[in-house]
Amino acid sequence: MTETAKPPIQLTVNGRHHSLPAAGDASLLHVLRNDLALNSPKYGCGLGECGACTVLVDGIAARACVIPAGGVAGRAITTLEGLAPPGGLHPVQQAFIEAQAAQCGYCLSGMIVMTVALLARRPDPTDDEIRAELSGNLCRCGTHLEILQAVRRAAELTRWAATTGGAA
């Protein structure tokens, strides 16, 4: 009995189309890191609990470690690498730099991507809303106050960019 070859997975990641021979049940995280060499989503827990692997799927924050790559075929996937134009920074990235909100940096990609999703829904979140949104993203280094400050600054920069039509 011969095995029928499976059709390649069609993914759109950071605005680029990819046709990949990966198995459809491989995790999106595995495909992003191993097949596409995008290293911002990190492997943390493998259970979707820590937030290190967070990406945007059609603009909504999602845990790449628990999503089968075949399940997001045809949808827009955005990683940290795809948030800003080449050589530039997204307002959220700029805010995290200004606030010095990184220590080891392992959680940073997930925190930034989750913040982008939050600000798309709530351009001026309260501190309680920020805490609730980021509660599923674990930071073991204790930069929680700086991260909160960075999200507040990101909201300012994002609103400014939206009103001026320019980058932060």
pTM above 0.85, yes or no: yes
Strand order in the sheet with 60-63: 16-20, 9-13, 76-78, 54-57, 60-63
CA pair distance 140, 126, nearest whole angstrom: 23
Q: Which residues, given as ranges, of the chain have pLDDT below 70?
A: 1-4, 22, 24, 166-168
Per the structure block, which two tokens stand in for 1? Answer: 């009995």
pLDDT tens digit string along 44-89? 999 999 999 999 999 999 999 999 999 999 999 999 999 998 899 9
CB 91 within 8 A of CB 151: no
